[in-house]
Structure 1
Amino acid sequence: HASGQDLNPDEFHLRAVIEDVVDRYHESVKVYNLSLGSSIPINNFEFSDLAKLLDFLSKHYKVLFIVSSGNINSLLGTYPSDHFLNSSSRIGCPAESILSLTIGSIAKYDNTDSLSNKEEISPFSRIGPGADLGIKPELVAHGGNLILPYNFSPRVSSYGISADGTNLCVDNGTSYSAPIISQYAQRLFDLYPDSDPNLVRALLCHFTEKKNVPEEITDDVINYTGFGEPVIDNALAAGSFNAAYIHEGQLDQENYQYIAFHIPSSLAETNKHSKLRIKITITYDPPVNPDNDSEYSMARISALLIKSSTTGMKPINISGDGKYILPWNPIIQFEKSFSRGYLTGAWDLRLRLYTRGTVKEDYLQDYAVVIEIIDDENGTNVYNDIIAEYSEIYKKIKIRIAA
């Protein structure tokens, strides 16, 4: 700018640039980091033109946008309860985009003067829910901390390389947590180059560690830190006591689809040295209706877990804390532990597609599923046991990790 001031682009210009860049590079560039956002909080069932564009581009070009949740630039009331309960703490445009992953911030460092404890939501990190009342932000990563009363301190902040590449720089913000997740996303696209962004979203949202909020906060943690912080090593490879089946497919509007998977015999209920837990994440990219914000997503998937038992295949009721299911929201996650009343061997996940609005009858919905089999007693090597029993059925995913 002629006056020497930095000017942010207006939304129209920004939309034009994003559309042009994605159109030009989508075949080679799959991850787009957007560390920007409006300071004005979103409203229920209202989607900005920029969020609508991100959703359109995500589905049309099969790319993934990683968007910062935005920053709360000043104390909004007594910290933490009144601060986060203030309506101005909610995410701003375009973080409400339902096909983008929205990234909040957690503190990795603390001291006696800091507002947040280590591994807790950062004081400035904007919170959900999304415009559809769904989970936002989905994920969090290190973005810094603040000290009393609401001040910057290099000791507890986020470090990076300066713009000229010659120095270390220090700052705070969700603008710094989002690129960490963008890098994770790119590593997963590198591992699965032929895969859909649905799979990368599923892996990032599945393999996470839950993160904390201040104990004074009593409302739902999921609106603050989402599914948690991704553990990228777990998303890249099986651990000692778990294994994951991953599946990508398409659903039509007429039929149930059954996805079979197998529980190894080492996780039988009679084995007192093991305890079976199953965790499932399903992601999909529904078509959206830019002209109807209240019925914006036009597809939903219903999911049912079916176990093998002595009396045949039995559907399982999933309830309680380990469940995130909001109709028309494009991420489903649930988990359940089992101690009795099941057999090992083949189980099923049953999926069904429902649509609304202007969706054509022959529409097919892409989706991805992660089914993780876990031994909570850490008594069996689940991955090796599955390979030993069922190697003829499943394809192992070989990974190359640079030294």
Structure 2
Amino acid sequence: MEETFPHLTIQREAPINEKRPRGGFSGIVEPADIRGHCNGLQQKLANAKEQADKGVGGFDDRRLFQFAVQKGFNPEDIRKISQEIEFVSQEDEAIIIGFASDSALSEFEARLTTMASGGHVTNKQIIYALQSIDGWSAKDRTGWALKKQGYPEKDEFLLDIELWPLEDNHQQRNREQAAFERWLTEQGIEKKDQVKQQELTLYRVLCNLNQANLLLQHRDIRSVDLPPSFGLERSIIIQDIQNFPNISDPSDHAPGIVVLDSGLATGHPLLGAAVGDAQSFLPGEDSNDENGHGTHVAGIALYGDFEHSLRSGKFVPTLRLFSGRILDKDNENTTGFVEKQIEESVRYFAKEYNCRVFNLSFGDSNKPYLEGHLKGLSLTLDILSRKLGVLFVVSTGNHRVGEHSPDGLEWRDNYPNYLLDESWRIIEPAPALNVLTVGSLARYNLTYNSQYYTLDPAEVPIAQPDQPSPFTRSGNSVDGAIKPELVAHGGNWAINMRAGHSLMERVAGLGVVSTNNKFASGNPFTIDIGTSMAAPYVAHLAASILREHPNASANLLRALLCINAVLPEACEELIHRNKAFRKVCGYGHVDASSLYRSLENAVNLIADSTIENKRHHFYEIPIPDEFTSGGRRRKREIAVALAYTPAIRSTRIKYRASRIDFRLVTASDLEQVTTMFNKATVKDEYENIPELKAATIGQQARSKGTVQADFWRFYQFNINSKLRAQKLFVVVTRNDFPWGESLCDSEEDYALVVSLRDRENEEARLYSRIKAQLEARMPVRIKI
């Protein structure tokens, strides 16, 4: 067995430079015809007031308006029109929502009249930036699922309502909520549940068609949509549990992994001894798994590659398993908001057992992410991630076969291009920025029948091994952040050519095997397909890192997982053909060979640190001579990953209050690299500081996420190579958005991991050389 070593700690260099501030140019374009522009705005304002007057409800007398603005406009500047216009939300880069009083509207109209007649006003750039003024209409309030599916064909049905969050005004938020609840009572609309947070106010109500139409007209409502849909089906395989020895208890210090799902069959012979606690957070239900989904997911979360253990006949749990039931026997949650039950369960397991890794293998197919704002569940996970320092691993969600799906042979013929269609976008909570999102890969392409009838070509797989699963969903997330970050095996589909090209979803034997809640009936294992099976594999790896690094932060867990990701060759071919497939494959699947500990030819350098706003941190990366030498051509790699957990705001289109990113650069020494990034550097030079060439992802694409990884590959070095002639530095930079500075800590946490790999060189002694270099430089470093 290859010898392994503890990951090395890397410490930053002494200088901590300020980041160069950006210039103040707003980029607002002056209209060619100012008078015509103002006259047009006057007419649009009149129409918008008339539309707003048709609305119902409201906790005060102000009207709600939608201001369309030029891209790059600072939403806070809307108050420069009048101090009595209250900024409510930025719905996308060009849409701002605000409350306005009658006096504010009169003041605004007076400005427009003055400018239309050629007069002078202050802050005229704000008027230039305005493109249109409208009300927030019923169409604007209608959520994605409601648009697609319409109202349920019932006399009464459930709807989910989101109010404008009013994040900065606690008193107004309370008034808004109280007034809305009084209005519900007056209209005879039954409130079933609510979520009340600073960042999020949700209601689930029971109503009829007439009442639903009234909800769409209510001033204080941001959106109206159908409740979540979490359904999954089952397929069963039969094995004899007597073939496997009883499992032993994990050690007392084994890290915990929590599965938030449909419950757990705690008596399963392969799970029971590892179970630390199983609780139900579903009102009126116990912790037992009536559906089977939670037990299936739990087997993968506990053992990782469950099939490997099944084939070897060895099940040795190294983690402690916990279960929080939040879904019912139908794998749904109709009792109330799952956000509340998730928060309750996470706080419970974090407090009572210090659990830090949570798996959520479900998604709301009624809420695909089509850009814009994130919804309640994503928001909840992002907030909890930051407040509690925990890691959520979630699945991208599965596409449900329906009207937007291919038909017959189109499944095969249009694969994989249809994965990029809008109807295949990731669903709640997969877009959450502070979590790890996992998509699915196919593992097999031979169905049960094809194995038995070896000469019959009737059953044709859609995907080949290690290609994206035919049902997996695609990203990105907010502002183009890479989602999913990782992929793992979740199954495949096939087409039956003898049955009208019908789709074989769960009957082909192309899924993932794991534990069955019906074990007592003699069927201890099941096989199922879906991204639900991919996420717990990654969650297992994340929790397993804590065995070697018990104090690792959630940021470090994310960084280590992503820096050890490798694109399967089949996925790499897709991305080479079309870069858009990065939205399906992310950084790849995790290669665990050097995930927990380093090897001589694969070294991880790690740092957990904090950084102030508008500052740079500098890290010099040792490059042993043998890394850039050697006669034969071979693949070598430098990889860098950074993760942080920013505060978020759902009323800002950028969402994250702070930005932390990195660049990999070469310089002759520390003085030169600090000068490159010094705030006194000429702006054009600063914005164009060159990175080391040939990054796989690129600084612009990777920096949009809160876990960022990139990879530099080399096959040979010439005598003038920068890695031979200069030193290598990673520069970490923090820059808060102006609106987010009050939300951020003075020093924000981040984790950095740098890897050097020379895997094709079996004689490499990278670890020994790098360790020696770091120890020699230790006295002049700053201790973190």
- Measured against the shorter chain, the TM-score band is 0.7 to 0.9
Contact 2:478 2:655 in 1 (8 A): no
Q: Point out the structure with max Rg over C-alpha.
A: 2
Counterpart contact for 1:262–1:344, Cα < 8 Å: no
Shift of 1:328: 4.4
Q: Paired residue for 1:222, among 570, 582, 587?
A: 582
- Matches of 1:380 and 1:362, distance apart in 2: 43
Cross-structure match for 1:358: 740
Cα distance in 2, alignment partners of residues 68 and 83 from structure 1: 19
When residues 307 and 8 of structure 1 are mapped into structure 2, their CA distance, relative to the original with a 3 A threshold, is: same
Matches within 5 A, 1:228-267: 228-267=588-627
Matching of residue 380 in structure 1 with residue 380 in structure 2? no
- Provide closer, same or farther for how the CA distance between residues 246 and 182 of structure 1 changes in structure 2, counting only shifts above 3 A: same
| Structure 1 vs Structure 2 CA RMSD | 2.9
Q: What CA distance in whole angstroms lies between the structure 1 residues aligned with 2:625 and 2:695?
A: 28
Q: Runs ≥4 in structure 1, deviation > 6 angstroms?
A: none
* Contact kept in structure 2, 1:154 and 1:171, CA below 8 Å: no
CA offsets 1:262-310 (integer angstroms, 9 cap, x no match): 11232345x5457753211111111111232x12011112423233549
Counterpart secondary structure, 1:183: helix
Q: Which residue of 2 aligns with 1:330?
A: 706
| Structure-2 residue corresponding to 1:139 | 486
Aligned length: 391
Distance 1:253-1:389 versus aligned 2 partners, 3 A rule: closer
Match in the other structure for 1:30: 356
Name the SS of the counterpart of 2:438 in structure 1: strand
> For residue 397 of structure 1, what is the aligned residue in structure 2?
none
3-state secondary structure, aligned to 1:132: helix
Give the counterpart of 1:66 among 374, 393, 396.
Answer: 393
Q: Which amino acid aligns with 1:348?
A: F
**1:303 correspondence with 2:686:** no
**What amino acid is the match of 2:654?**
E
What's the CA shift string for 1:363-398, capped at 9, x where partnerless? 22211111111237525221122234444557xxxx
> Equivalent residue for 1:126?
473
Contact 2:604 2:753 survives alignment (8 Å): yes
Q: Following TM superposition, by how much is the alpha carbon of 1:227 offset from its aligned partner in structure 2, in angstroms?
A: 0.6
CA displacement, residues 316-365 of structure 1 (integer Å, 9 cap, x when unaligned): 52455612444442122223346213348963211110001232376222
Displacement, 1:146? 0.7
Note if contact 1:268-1:344 (Cα within 8 Å) is conserved in structure 2.
no
Q: For 1:220, what is the secondary structure of its paired residue?
A: helix
Q: Is structure 2 residue 753 aligned with structure 1 residue 370? A: yes
| Aligned partners of 2:666 and 2:692 also within 8 Å | no
Aligned to 1:177: 534
Out of 405, 409, 424, the position equivalent to 1:89 is 424
Specify the code of the residue in structure 2 equivalent to 1:150: L
CA contact (8 A) 2:391 2:435 kept: yes
Query: What TM-score, normalized to structure 1?
Result: 0.87
C-alpha distance 46-24 of structure 1, shift in aligned 2 (>3 A)? same
Indicate whether 1:348 and 2:729 are aligned: yes
Does 2:528 align with 1:168? Answer: no
Unaligned runs of 5+ in 1: 395-403
Q: Tell me which of 193, 210, 217 is aligned to 2:567.
A: 210
Say which is worse superposed, 91-100 or 370-379, in terms of deviation. 370-379
Using a 3 Å threshold, how does the CA distance of structure 1 residues 202 and 10 change in structure 2: closer, same or farther? Answer: farther
* Match status 1:46 vs 2:373: yes
Matched, 1:195 2:548: no
CA distance in 2, matches of 1:141, 1:275: 24
Paired residue secondary structure (1:201)? helix
Deviates more, 1:100-109 or 1:341-350: 341-350
Which of 159, 164, 178 matches 2:513?
159
Checking the alignment, whether the CA contact within 8 Å between 2:382 and 2:432 is kept in structure 1 is yes
Contact in 1 for aligned 2:370/2:422 (Cα 8 Å) = no
User: What SS is found at the alignment partner of 1:367?
Assistant: strand
Contact 2:480 2:704 in 1 (8 A): no
Deviates more, 1:372-381 or 1:89-98: 372-381
Give 1:145 deviation, angstroms.
0.7
Q: TM-score, normalised by structure 2?
A: 0.47
Q: Which moved more, 1:308-317 or 1:188-197?
A: 308-317
List runs of 5+ in structure 2 lacking aligned partners.
1-283, 286-327, 447-456, 496-501, 674-688, 779-784
CA distance in 2, matches of 1:144, 1:333: 26
Match of 1:251, SS? strand
- Alpha-carbon deviation of 1:124? 0.8
